[in-house]
Amino acid sequence: MKNDALAFFKEPNDFNRFIYQFDIYNGWKIGKGTMNSRGELIRNKSYTRNLKKLFSDKNAFRREVSISEIVSWLDSFVILMRVIEKLRINLSSEEFVKVKIYFEYIIKMSKKMRVDFIIEYEDTLLLLELRMVNNFRKIRGTWSNKKGELLIYKELMNNYIDDKFKILTFAFISLYEYEGREEIIAHSHYNNNQVSFLVEYIQKFMIKRSEIL
């Protein structure tokens, strides 16, 4: 599977090293505005060039990565880093290092459909899609759409993934956390609650699934 992903991380600490060594994170905030308008502010940043090069070097895609996609990735990196830190706290060190992460995984025979992230733990794969919306009213509809996409991805992957794997899905809908330099506390609080919920989901259905069967 790792050859079909834009990047593969054998353990969560590898993801953190990827963020810092590539100078990708660099204090990025999930801010208000369209992806394109936010992208104009980082078009010439080193981490933007690094991500574009990573995408082109993979030579598995039909076009160049757009600036809006890069902004979406950066937002997702912020969320995933929070998930990783909570997993670090909630899992044993032996469990933590067994968590594998695939970034932008290309589904076989799908006309280049991609899953944002896949989290692997032993015999379980979690397909994770992330999307940011600008108000609470849009969360439910966006979640339903993303969940539908994930179920299609799951069906396609079931055609070729080894039968030993159980495939789970999770749609993570976030809200922007900053308007200019002002933090929107209600939005940040919601996002962090969602992070906690995802970590709980991973614990119950991936790490300690046998305890609830």
pLDDT tens digits, 29-80: 999 999 999 999 899 988 898 888 888 887 766 678 899 999 999 999 999 9
Check residue 46 and give its pLDDT.
86
Q: Is residue 176 packed enough to be buried (19+ CB in 10 Å), middle (13-18) or exposed (0-12)? A: buried
- Residue-averaged pLDDT of the chain: 91
Of the pLDDT bands very low, low, confident and very high (cuts 50, 70, 90), residue 213 is: very low
Of the pLDDT bands very low, low, confident and very high (cuts 50, 70, 90), residue 212 is: very low
What distance in Å separates the CA atoms of residue 101 and residue 104, rounded to the nearest whole number?
10
Domains of the chain: 2-212 (3.90.1570)
Please state the rounded mean pLDDT for residues 14-22: 87
What distance in Å separates the CA atoms of residue 109 and residue 111, rounded to the nearest whole number?
6
Check residue 58 and give its pLDDT.
79
Whether the pTM exceeds 0.75: the reply is yes
